A and B are shown apart, each in its own frame.
Chain A
Amino acid sequence: MNEALRNIKTRRVVREMSDQAVEREQIEAILEAARWAPSGGNLRPNRYVVIEDAETRRLLRLVAPGMFQRAPVLILICTNWQVVAQHHLPAHDRALLIDIGTAAQTMLLAAHALGLASGPVTSYSKEAVRIILNLPAHYSPEMFICIGHKAETARPGMRAWQPITWRDLTHWERFPERE
């Protein structure tokens, strides 16, 4: 199978990670991959905050009920609202959410390609994260990407709600006329 497709199919969200450190070069490679993610209008409103400090990570976990991982590296995807304003994008423009998604998936795949475990987290208090990281007012914290190494004792991930294939998700061509 094509290497890129194999990487896509074998990536999993990992919620249990070991204490093993992630090398700086690997973190930078993941960030560089995110730089190449598609961005609406090539405006690039995303900014990335990398957190390695153990105490900061501990505090972030305390305000992030969805962060089951004890990851050695956290990358926070932020929207830079100065960029949004500069380009006169409305705040509800869907491109902003799509940009977060494309950056996130690109980083998850890059991490997997480097032999690392990863998982996205969106269940946290944005206001609490803003305070803990002393974020600039024009940054909004949109999604954490946890990066680390899978724990040897990690349990299997959450099961699918129902068996699903790409065929279940796809319709070819026009839908039939409705009566």
Chain B
Amino acid sequence: MQSNWVLKEDEAIELLALLITSARIQMDEPAHYGPLRLLTAAERLSSLIEARSSQKAREFLEGNIERIPAMHMRMSDVDAYTEGLDALCRAVAACLLRHSSLEGEA
């Protein structure tokens, strides 16, 4: 696996701020806001690393993370939202395989 630095310190702290403040406000908000906050963090991380990431990673980010904002707007449709999250999970798993030594094994 490549060991490129894709995140600067300022950017990492920005992401930390989002995660920590999300944890706090989640104490006061409905449970279904949890996925929204985590996906917002995923979007933020994606936007921060995209410019310096590998081609393989960029393909995943462009093809999948970009769908997240549209998903937020459909939170009221729980089934569609859940299916959107499942689709993202499948894409993440495929991305993990491409980044692993298992790629190509059957």
Which residues of A are in contact with B by a Cβ distance under 8 Å?
62-66, 68, 123-125, 127-128, 155-162
Contact = CB atoms under 8 A, between A and B. Distances in A.
Contacts of A162: 76
B73 A155 contact: yes
Contacts of B41: 65
Given A158-B72, A160-B76, A62 B14 contact: yes
> Chain B interface residue count: which class?
20 to 34
Given A62-B17, A62-B18, A158 B40 contact: no
Interface centre among A65, A123, A155, A156 (most CB of B within 10 A): A65
B21 A63 contact: yes
Contacts of A63: 17, 21
Contact of B69 (A65, A124, A127, A155): A155
B11 to A, nearest CB: 11
The dominant DSSP class at the A interface is loop
B21 A124 contact: yes
B83 to A, nearest CB: 16
Contact of B75 (A64, A68, A155, A158): A158
Given A65-B37, A158-B73, A161-B76, 14 more contacts: A62-B17, A65-B18, A65-B21, A65-B40, A123-B25, A125-B21, A125-B24, A128-B21, A155-B73, A156-B73, A158-B72, A158-B76, A159-B76, A159-B77
Contacts of A123: 25, 29, 33
Contacts of B51: none
Nearest to A66: B25
A23 B76 CA distance: 36
Nearest to B41: A65
A157 B14 contact: no
A123 B72 CA distance: 15
A7 to B, nearest CB: 24
Contacts of B73: 155-159
Contacts of B72: 158
A155 B40 CA distance: 16
Contacts of A160: 76
Given A123-B29, A159-B76, A160-B76, A64 B21 contact: yes
A128 B24 CA distance: 11
22 contacts: A62-B17, A62-B18, A63-B21, A64-B21, A65-B18, A65-B37, A65-B40, A66-B25, A68-B40, A123-B25, A123-B29, A123-B33, A125-B20, A125-B24, A127-B24, A128-B21, A155-B70, A155-B73, A156-B73, A158-B72, A158-B75, A159-B77
